[in-house]
Chains A and B, each alone.
Chain A
Amino acid sequence: MSPWVVGFSVFIVYPMVSSLYFSFTRYDLLSEPVFVGLENYRFMFTQDPNFWQSVRNTLWMVGVGVSLRIVFGVVTATVLTWPRRGAKVYRTIFFLPTMAPPVAAAVAFVFVLNPRIGPVNQLLGALGMEHPPLWFYSPGSAKWGLVLLGLWGVGDAMIIFLAGLLDVPRQLYEAAEIEGAGPWQRFRFVTLPMISPVIFFNLVMGVISGFQYFTQAYVASVATSGNRVATQALGYPQGSMLFYSVYLYQQGFTYFRMGYASAMAWVLFLITMACTALIFRTSARWVHYGGALR
């Protein structure tokens, strides 16, 4: 057997099969798993209020967070193609936040967006805003704080868009210009189609990581709630930052409900697969692969 087969079986196939089995059991890690049939799935869909909350939060993040990141990434990359001089410096500056470790970045944002002592709200207050948002302290604005954090670290997506943008052949723009296309038309009918494969790639990766959104939400909840038991702070405030993976972690490792957590992991896997498949199916309509044969 080649090493690849061994690694694949031991680290991928076997754990997946076992977690599928565990999903049909009550398994607290300490006792032997007890087979309970579809009970975990029944409980998940019909009785667990936090499950649906975590699903809604996650879908919001995938819908709003991922699309804004793509729009912001494309816009930033486009702007970065403009400077004639110092382009490399600007690119580095915009890419730098991506290098910050997610935990450190989240802690920093909790401070920057602190409603009372944070610089953002002090600025908003100085500008005359009477009731600036409470950011991570209010369920209405907490997720927007995370979105801002995501946009600040958009460098990873931006750098790929930039590569795509710089690859668009100049003669296409020249041809469009001769035909009388303005800047917006050039962007809409030349740039966008030409970078659509890159958008497609970022969309798929964004959706997958959006469904697994964990670190920033975990850190922001714990740092904000002030609760001394980190696991009791998950989702703070009012469950607005309880994302699917956070809830899954809480079930498996705080409540020791590994059977239920396994069931949740499988549902997440199936949803992610379904969404990815859907994006792939619709891609034929909007993704253009230059001259390549498909």
Chain B
Amino acid sequence: MRRALVVLSVLAAVGAACTAGGGGGTSPPPTIEPSGTHEPVTIEIWGAWSGRELKQFNQIFPAFEEKYPWITVKSVGNRDDEAIVAAIRAGNPPDVVLSFGLDSVGEFCASGGWQDLTPYIEQSDFDLSQFPESVFKYTSFAGSQCALPFLTDAYGLYYNVDLFEKAGLTEPPKTFSELTEYAKKLTEFNPDGSIKVAGFVPWAGFYEFGAVTLSIPWQAHWYDESGEHSAVATDPRWKQALEWQRDLVDFYGAANLKRFIAGLGGEWGAGHAFHHGQIAMMIDGEWRTAFIQDLAPDLNYATAPFPVPDDAADRYGMGQIGGTIIGIPRGSPHPAEAWLLVSWMATDTDTLVYMANNVRNVPTTYAALESPDLDVTPQFKTFLDIFQNPYSHYKETSAIGVQDQDLMGAFMEDWQEGKVPDLQAGLEQVAEQIDALLAQARI
């Protein structure tokens, strides 16, 4: 570990000399006349795509190169945020960056590591009304619009239709009390008391279920209105959500549930429990439809919005959204061409539809959502609707990245095991810890 630190420090020092003058600043951004003649230039985009998805992603660039014949795009996959940050720090970043780490938007924007795109947007009369309002919440921070969305994820309820029929259920649950009721009906125990089929696994850390995916359908706020203090102890939704969770955990028994989970296949492989009818319902993103098509094409399943609290039934249809972001790093060698690529990727309907049909993410512009070329299965349609629901959102962005989620996640681990005697006191402690981190980030 020390060695890694040492290497990084050296890189940082070497980079420091090169970065001088590379910052964004307030001067107008460089522009380029798209219709004029230009020297050929190659621009580089880094992203964390890999494998099948990277191959599919790389197919989008010929259309861009046709539109801007003097630009060649070189796409580099398997570059995560750590690599991107190191490259920005070293003053040697690519022209365009793509990240799945929307939780780091606060850090990317506030530090200027990802440039504020506002000047580019203003200068090129870029039309922001092409996107649903909800995308701006997770692509900007502290007044800096440092990213644009490039497709997104939406979360909903997946349920096994055969198991529903067997239990005499026809409609998906719409409220959390219905979810509990359904989960109990759908659960089957073995003669020795161990779980054979779980109706719904409410275990933090299991597949997609966790602090964020629980907080959003429960409409629980992470921060107060000022954004300067944690709301986990003051927003009563947190307590309700956690009590709901614990109630369902107790139905199975924590140890029993853990033993059950331990025997299930991983989230990204063919052994996924939902593919095999070992769990009847789960929360998951729209990409699961592609995995099921690929790995369990015979599975009889349906999707629906995730349930909402009983006293907020009018919000049914909303859900968690938020996904891939793209932007221009500080020190981008060809910022004018980079903006051409970023704005094109964010809005080109054919590209968004192609990615939606292949990688199975939700396209992020109205035009793409309405495109007749979009391959809409009934299961996928749910997620297009969730994305367009006005109440759908992602958790509030903050300057402390994923640390708030991790603290809450750790607390939930204790809570679900029955190791928290006083829920309110526990939440107050989490809020205090989050506030302390926020205070540190402000110094």
Interface residues of A (CB under 8 A from B): 10-12, 14-16, 18-19, 22, 26, 28-31, 34, 36, 39, 43, 47-50, 114-117, 131, 134, 137-139, 212, 214, 224-229, 231-233, 235-239, 245, 248-249, 252-256, 258, 261-262, 265, 268-269
With both chains docked as a complex, state the minimum distance between the C-beta of B388 and any C-beta of chain A, in angstroms.
25
B373 lies within 8 A of chain A by Cβ: no
Residues of A within 8 A of B88 (CB): 30
With both chains docked as a complex, state the minimum distance between the C-beta of A44 and any C-beta of chain B, in angstroms.
11
Q: Nearest chain-B residue to A215 (Cβ)? A: B1
Query: Are A134 and B259 neighbours in the complex by a CB distance under 8 Å?
Result: yes
Query: Are A265 and B5 neighbours in the complex by a CB distance under 8 Å?
Result: yes
Q: Nearest chain-B residue to A256 (Cβ)? A: B107
With both chains docked as a complex, state the minimum distance between the C-beta of A39 and any C-beta of chain B, in angstroms.
6
Query: Are A19 and B111 neighbours in the complex by a CB distance under 8 Å?
Result: no
Q: Which residues of B from 400 to 425 have beta carbons under 8 Å from A?
A: 400-403, 405-406, 409-410, 413-414, 417, 419
Query: Are B6 and A30 neighbours in the complex by a CB distance under 8 Å?
Result: no
Query: Are A14 and B13 neighbours in the complex by a CB distance under 8 Å?
Result: yes
Q: Kindly identify which residue among A117, A137, A229, A252 contacts B5, using a CB–CB cutoff of 8 Å.
A: A252
Residues of A within 8 A of B400 (CB): 255
Q: Kindly identify which residue among A18, A26, A134 contacts B9, using a CB–CB cutoff of 8 Å.
A: A18
B359 lies within 8 A of chain A by Cβ: no
Q: Are A116 and B263 CB-contacts (below 8 A) given A226-B206, A232-B409? A: yes
Q: Are A239 and B410 CB-contacts (below 8 A) given A14-B10, A232-B405? A: yes
Residues of A within 8 A of B9 (CB): 14-15, 18-19, 22
B108 lies within 8 A of chain A by Cβ: yes
Q: Are A232 and B259 CB-contacts (below 8 A) given A28-B107, A225-B205, A238-B414? A: no
Residues of A within 8 A of B111 (CB): 28, 30-31
Q: Kindly identify which residue among B86, B108, B266, B440 contacts A39, using a CB–CB cutoff of 8 Å.
A: B440
Residues of A within 8 A of B17 (CB): none
**CA gap between A185 and B4 in the complex, in Å:** 48
**CA gap between A238 and B410 in the complex, in Å:** 6
Q: Nearest chain-B residue to A239 (Cβ)? A: B410
Q: A22-B9, A228-B207, A239-B410 provided; 17 other pairs, C-beta below 8 A?
A: A19-B6, A28-B107, A39-B443, A47-B436, A115-B262, A116-B263, A225-B205, A226-B207, A232-B406, A236-B205, A238-B414, A238-B417, A248-B1, A249-B1, A255-B400, A255-B403, A269-B2
Query: Are B10 and A115 neighbours in the complex by a CB distance under 8 Å?
Result: no
Query: Are B205 and A255 neighbours in the complex by a CB distance under 8 Å?
Result: no
A-B contact pairs, 16 of them (CB 8 A): A15-B6, A19-B9, A28-B111, A30-B89, A30-B112, A43-B440, A49-B433, A114-B262, A115-B259, A117-B263, A137-B258, A138-B258, A228-B207, A255-B400, A255-B403, A258-B8
With both chains docked as a complex, state the minimum distance between the C-beta of B8 and any C-beta of chain A, in angstroms.
8
With both chains docked as a complex, state the minimum distance between the C-beta of A213 and any C-beta of chain B, in angstroms.
10
**CA gap between A31 and B85 in the complex, in Å:** 11
Q: Kindly identify which residue among A14, A36, A226, A265 contacts B205, using a CB–CB cutoff of 8 Å.
A: A226
Residues of A within 8 A of B330 (CB): 30
With both chains docked as a complex, state the minimum distance between the C-beta of A43 and any C-beta of chain B, in angstroms.
6
**CA gap between A150 and B186 in the complex, in Å:** 42
With both chains docked as a complex, state the minimum distance between the C-beta of B413 and any C-beta of chain A, in angstroms.
5
With both chains docked as a complex, state the minimum distance between the C-beta of B426 and any C-beta of chain A, in angstroms.
12
**CA gap between A61 and B222 in the complex, in Å:** 35
**CA gap between A218 and B89 in the complex, in Å:** 26
Q: Kindly identify which residue among A15, A49, A131 contacts B10, using a CB–CB cutoff of 8 Å.
A: A15
**CA gap between A248 and B2 in the complex, in Å:** 10
**CA gap between A262 and B402 in the complex, in Å:** 20
With both chains docked as a complex, state the minimum distance between the C-beta of B387 and any C-beta of chain A, in angstroms.
20
Residues of A within 8 A of B7 (CB): 15
**CA gap between A137 and B260 in the complex, in Å:** 11
**CA gap between A12 and B4 in the complex, in Å:** 12
**CA gap between A15 and B400 in the complex, in Å:** 26
With both chains docked as a complex, state the minimum distance between the C-beta of B17 and any C-beta of chain A, in angstroms.
13
Q: Nearest chain-B residue to A12 (Cβ)? A: B6
**CA gap between A226 and B267 in the complex, in Å:** 7
Residues of B within 8 A of A22 (CB): 9
Q: Kindly identify which residue among B86, B262, B409 contacts A134, using a CB–CB cutoff of 8 Å.
A: B262
Query: Are B1 and A15 neighbours in the complex by a CB distance under 8 Å?
Result: no
Residues of B within 8 A of A235 (CB): 410
**CA gap between A19 and B206 in the complex, in Å:** 37
Residues of A within 8 A of B409 (CB): 232
Residues of A within 8 A of B440 (CB): 26, 39, 43
Q: Which residues of B from 242 to 262 have beta carbons under 8 Å from A?
A: 255, 258-262
Residues of B within 8 A of A16 (CB): 6
With both chains docked as a complex, state the minimum distance between the C-beta of B425 and any C-beta of chain A, in angstroms.
14
Q: Kindly identify which residue among B6, B86, B258 contacts A29, using a CB–CB cutoff of 8 Å.
A: B86
Residues of B within 8 A of A269 (CB): 2
B336 lies within 8 A of chain A by Cβ: no
B225 lies within 8 A of chain A by Cβ: no
Centre residue among B108, B112, B410, B436 by max chain A CB count within 10 A: B410
